[in-house]
Structure 1
């Protein structure tokens, strides 16, 4: 009897292509360098030396908190008219990237002596590399071009995007046609089945180093078996026309359907049992959960996207014991409003919440995903969140005042300590957007500071300001236990004139 109908879907956001190393190379950087032959004194390096602003390099942090990049590359493609397109620079600083792109646009691409102009290729040039603790101009002598492997049925692809999409389609069809229905049945799967596919294609086009992931161990083993017998590539990946190994990584989704009613009952019972075992606090049969099930149909529930794995509702309680400031972490405003509306219809007194601190906020989980299925759940008692208190002067009996005080204190600290000469450190004009994040540990110490700015000097200064902040007066608490919390902020400042400009629009990343 045929149990299942497989429908394969594509999830593009997790695709990862990367060149793997030859056995003769230590790593991919050495392989690239072999073909690129970078040189500080070649024609391209001299060209960029005349057109790059030295101050953009002098403060480049090799151990930058944004990302530790020891090389800066420029990639581009060739359009049907053999014109350069899709220029991308990979440094963490937008001003530096802009400078490199603008310089390259004015470079005579014919001087690169590209041996093969093809829309299937991606072309890469090294522009910068490290020398000691400095970033220097050290450009490729030769342009490096790479091409994806070509599998049967994809030979007619005219550009890299179509070739990539064809490979995705082929591997998805292969998995859907070959994965064992018996293993699907053993895993008790219905609905969407997300599978993480990862394998290498060696220099001969053969599939090796298969390392896939599925919801259960037995299904993972089966997925690895199926992917391992994926037909070899007709043409392996190449680097400058020479065969090279290639890593493919993708999440695909199979839609599992069955007309067997007994199996459907087994799946539902199995998932409910696992849910109760693994989440003792979460219960699909609390009064609050049953209340939400009255207003959300099974069809609606299945369509809800859980970007963070679950959806919860958050609220505060005023001095009169009434819930206020409702919010959720739903993906859309429409779903947020719907969930809040349903929650407001529930008799609040049934929750038996006894507020202790007016600055606390409360939350209940509402929707979680288990076995690729959305489930309405809740718990008997709310989670109680107590926000951090930045300094003693911020203590308040009002949660909004407490948060506003912390935000204003951080804004004042940044504004008052930022050097006003910073406008001279950038060629950009108008409003510069800057953002930063940090954590407050369970002792109130500032840790894991990360700063993001258009250039290194502004970024470094911002990072130092945040690191110099004093310990907060009180850390955050969850259900009475001190916890680590993350704070994220962004703001802009105007460098378009010669007066001292106020920082503006300090924004905290939304969240409970």
Structure 2
């Protein structure tokens, strides 16, 4: 720990060996603090409603152009063979979405589609598969079926291990839920620091980026500034920023327990000047929204 005016540490949410009751107690504290942060997020939204609407419409248009989903694609025909038709019944599109970020698009803009996202493991298998159809058992069965599909049929490359991959599986048309799946996979690669180019998998890129960023925060926080505010102890904050198409950090707007800590965190993040390869969608640079939780402990030196 760095000892000048205060003890200041930044940690991820992991703990040393402790009892289960201690873990449960710590988890409750963490969840309570995250809940408080989420309330602050609604008080200080990162995007306006108009920006979210425009972003949603642009994302859907881009995805559809790249994925080219049809009812007779190879992936669609595969699901027609192996998925029981009754599983598609009673899907309520009004209660689900393919992105937690775009939770409430307007009815006019809503795409009425369901996507599955996954990553590729070192052994070239689909991993971290996620889908939301409004029913966990149905989600589990769909993922089970998808994992047996030959990924090479999606035209994936070795470099796609660095990305999160999305495929549309279902759509609602004329009040009916149909199987309408990608011809081509859509691959979103996260921003990559040049020091992180040896990363081989999606999660490794993200970990490397955030590790480097928080090393920078730890080294550059103004302990004098933090000492001038009264809050002490462990606090959880929510860094939020965008890495633009040029690989620069922009639009920094974190959530923190008070304005002084927020402004200091924002200032340090904005000063992070390492060269970043921007996030890409199927090879084309795109703006990437970054959002995480971290813990900051501030204590007086005794």
Q: Same fold (TM over 0.5)?
A: yes
Residue aligning to 1:313: none
Listed as ranges, the matches of 1:129-148 within 5 Å are 129-148=171-190
Q: Which residue of 1 aligns with 2:13?
A: 11
Where does residue 41 of structure 2 map in the other structure? none
Question: Which residue in 1 is equivalent to 2:154?
Answer: 112
Matched, 1:36 2:67: yes
Structure exhibiting the larger radius of gyration computed from Cα positions: 1
Mark the CA change 1:230 to 1:68 in structure 2 (over 3 Å): closer, same or farther. same
Match of 2:88 among 49, 57, 63: 57
Q: 1:106 to 1:80 in 2, by over 3 A?
A: closer
**1:89 and 2:131 correspond:** yes
Q: Deviations over 1:395-441 (max 9, x none)?
A: xxxxxxxxxxxxxxxxxxxxxxxxxxxxxxxxxxxxxxxxxxxxxxx
SS of match in other structure, 2:123? coil
Tell me, which stretches of 5 or more residues in structure 2 are unaligned?
15-30, 35-50, 99-111
Structure 1 residue 90: Cα displacement: 2.6
Provide the secondary structure at the position in 2 that maps to 1:136. strand
Residue 202 of structure 1 is matched in structure 2 by: 244
The offset of 1:89, in angstroms, is 2.7
Larger RCO (CA under 8 A, 6+ residues apart): 2
Assess if the C-alpha contact under 8 Å between 2:234 and 2:298 holds in 1: yes
- TM-score where L is the length of structure 1: 0.45
> Matches of residues 315-330 of structure 1 in structure 2 within 5 Å?
none
Q: Compute the displacement of 1:233 (Å).
A: 4.4
Distance (whole Å) between structure 2 residues aligned to residue 7 and residue 98 of structure 1: 39
- Does residue 1:157 correspond to 2:188, yes or no? no
Report the CA distance shift for 1:24/1:113 in structure 2 as closer, same or farther (over 3 A): same
Structure 1 residue runs of 5 or longer lacking an equivalent are 15-19, 262-512
Q: Which has the higher strand share?
A: 1
Distance 1:152 1:117 in 2: 16
Whole-angstrom distance in 1 between the partners of 2:218 and 2:150: 48
The alpha carbon displacement at 1:46 in A equals 2.3
TM normalised by structure 2 equals 0.73
Q: Does 1:101 align with 2:132?
A: no
- Asked whether the equivalents of residues 194 and 277 of structure 2 are also in contact (C-alpha less than 8 Å), the reply is no
Structure 1 runs of 4+ with >4 Å offset = none
